[in-house]
Amino acid sequence: MTERSTPLFLRAVRGEPVERTPIWVMRQAGRYLPEYREVRSKTTFLGLCKSPELAAEVTLQPIRRFALDAAIIFSDILVPVEAMGIPLDYNPGPVLGRTTRSKEDIDALTIPDPVKDMGFVMDAIRMFIREMPDTPILGFAGAPFTLAAYMIEGAGSKNYAVTKQFLYEQPKQARRLLAKLARTVSDHLIAQVEAGAAAVQIFDSWAGHLSRDDYLTFALPFTIEIVDNVKKAGAPIIVFAKGAHSSLDELSQCGADVLGVDWTLPLDVAAEMTKQRVALQGNLDPCVLLGPVENIERQVQRILNEAQAIEKGHVFNLGHGILPPTPPEHMAALVDAVKRNGRRRTP
């Protein structure tokens, strides 16, 4: 494959020259799209995740509509948790059938076989590639701390107090749980790469709830373990630890190719904090897409200006997932603005 025929997204994450900044959006397949809602009305959320045909279809929808530079497979970060033996439902957010708060609870968790127990994810990736072979598709998984937080709390939380109490009172058992999750996530990501995922992203959505010391103790070591394992599969790795700004220096040394940055930290500041070790991804506030198109244009230009400070590479994205009330025409305006104004980059 020649340099110009290699997709923009892949060149950007590898720090190679690009004609313009590539763009994809977290949760780009989802409730803001009427075509997604039509598919979703026919099944449950988990049913959609577990149907390769339907998951591939909703993964394709934003690419057909907006011609984004990368897709991300439609799934959920808690799919591996269910495969470990935890009952899972959505009402509307995730509700786990039991909590994990003791040695016995952790002992009861199995290490799933990703192909046997989560093969529907890999099947969906292959179906997408057959339909749209020229668009790179990302696989993904949750980071151990974020998954453990759901397992300990039994659902989402405003402050993750029960999770932190578990970390402080039972640090040995916490590390056993996190190690088990690191192995599960590693296997799941490698299977996605083997199915054809061009890159993978690790989501540590609740990292910002931890102090710097707790993040470096209970979260980052297990993310590093996953990166070390998955690197051998050969695909670029993106780590998005939302809110973990105080640890960006350490994160930039975790072995990932790209770090995602949320909207609260300017990209030029992030480039300085990471000492230009990695490419950066982000970081428009998702709420900007709820406002007027003129402001979307201004905010895109601001971020592209900040991104000029990045030496390694830049992938345009939101600072977190797109919000369900987002008008699709505003998403179209975002993609158009990035494609018109995206920076040529020659590292």
- The closest alpha carbon to 27, from 69, 79, 62, 64, belongs to 62
- The closest alpha carbon to 61, from 86, 39, 83, belongs to 39
CB environment 150-183: b (16+ within 10 A), e (fewer):
bbbbbeebeebeebbebbeebeebbbebbebbbb
- The closest alpha carbon to 123, from 134, 137, 109, 110, belongs to 137
The answer to whether the CB of 315 falls within 8 A of the CB of 8 is no
d(CA 145, CA 148): 5
Q: What DSSP element (H or E) covers 81?
A: helix 79-83
Which residues are part of the catalytic machinery?
27, 31, 40, 76, 150
Phi–psi pair at 35, nearest 5 degrees = -70, -30
Sheet arrangement for strand 137-142: 71-72, 137-142, 199-204, 237-241, 258-260, 279-281, 314-315
d(CA 28, CA 333): 14
Extract the tokens encoding 235: 């695909």
d(CA 9, CA 338): 13
